[in-house]
């Protein structure tokens, strides 16, 4: 069964990569210079920053973003982004919102319909539940935290972002985290958790346990949209959030 699952995952990844290559081909972009392979970078070391190892890869056109000194500069560097195949179907690039120096950062999967229309993350029904968690549960204001997504454009029909789409956006998310410098990240939902931790472990096994993300404490929990479908699991998310609150109150936070 595991072998069949691996084969299916490889098939999906191959199909996604093929569409990505075709998309860039139609745009007249060559992914690799002729006669050269991909220059491999050494593993990231402390001091290189979250973007360490991303320069020089297939998405090296994001160099201005890597040099941004503020979230405003980063947003300007992203511009009318057309680096992946999601852009033709979007209304707005949904960048992020909140305190630029927040101690706490929430990261979700990607924009939905309401977010795409308004250009702000978590503003629909799931967003209202997240706001309730922040304000009623944690006693904070929405503007006290920073909220972003793994990808900045809405996937068609709210499907999961595909591997090439995540890779296109990854430098921007990492730079957001680097600029905000949160002390705690709450990863919302299976896809955000697995993307950040580079793990295929089920969220039911990851949630509620502290993880490390480049020196930042990361707490995985269920996505608010999941809670709308499964309200009985709200108590599990509250257990996770209580751990986050306790950590925020420690002197190191």
Task: Please check whether residue 169 is in contact with residue 54, taking contact to mean a CB–CB distance below 8 angstroms.
Answer: no
Helix (H, G, I), strand (E, B) or coil at 211: strand
Exposure on the CB side of residue 210, measured as CA atoms within 13 A: 13
Q: Where are the domains of the chain?
A: 59-248
Cα diameter, the chain: 58
More confident residue, 18 or 114: 114
Q: Tell me the CATH number of domain 59-248, given options 3.90.1150.10, 3.40.50.720, 3.40.470.10, 3.90.550.10.
A: 3.40.470.10
The burial class, CB within 10 Å (0-12 / 13-18 / 19+), for 226 is middle
Q: Which residue has the higher pLDDT, 108 or 1?
A: 108
Q: What is the pLDDT of residues 120-138, one digit of tens each?
A: 999 999 999 999 999 999 9
Backbone angles phi, psi at 236, to 5 degrees: -70, -40
Write the DSSP string, 125-151: HHHHHHHHIIIIIT---GGGSEEEESS
pLDDT at residue 114 greater than cutoff 50? yes
């Amino acid at each position: 069964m595991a072998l069949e699952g691996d084969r299916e995952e490889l098939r999906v990844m191959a199909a996604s990569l093929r569409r990505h290559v075709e998309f860039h081909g139609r745009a007249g972009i060559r992914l690799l210079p002729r006669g050269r392979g991909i220059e491999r970078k050494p593993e990231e070391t402390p001091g290189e920053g979250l973007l360490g190892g991303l320069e020089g890869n297939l998405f090296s056109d994001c160099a201005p973003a890597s040099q941004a000194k503020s979230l405003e500069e980063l947003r300007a560097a992203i511009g009318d982004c057309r680096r992946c195949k999601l852009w033709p179907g979007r209304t707005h690039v949904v960048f992020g919102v909140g305190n630029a120096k927040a101690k706490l950062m929430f990261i979700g999967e990607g924009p939905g319909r309401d977010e795409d229309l308004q250009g702000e993350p978590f503003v629909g029904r799931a967003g209202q539940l997240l706001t309730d968690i922040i304000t009623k549960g944690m006693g904070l204001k929405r503007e006290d935290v920073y909220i972003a997504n793994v990808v900045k454009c809405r996937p068609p029909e709210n499907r999961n972002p595909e591997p090439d789409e995540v890779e296109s956006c990854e430098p921007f998310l990492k730079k957001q985290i680097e600029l905000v410098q949160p002390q705690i990240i709450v990863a919302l939902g299976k896809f955000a958790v697995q993307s950040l931790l580079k793990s295929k472990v089920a969220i039911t096994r990851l949630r509620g346990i502290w993880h490390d993300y480049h020196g930042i404490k990361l707490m995985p929990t269920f996505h608010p949209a999941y809670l709308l479908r499964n309200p009985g699991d709200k108590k599990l998310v509250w257990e996770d959030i209580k751990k986050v609150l306790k950590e925020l109150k420690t002197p190191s936070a």
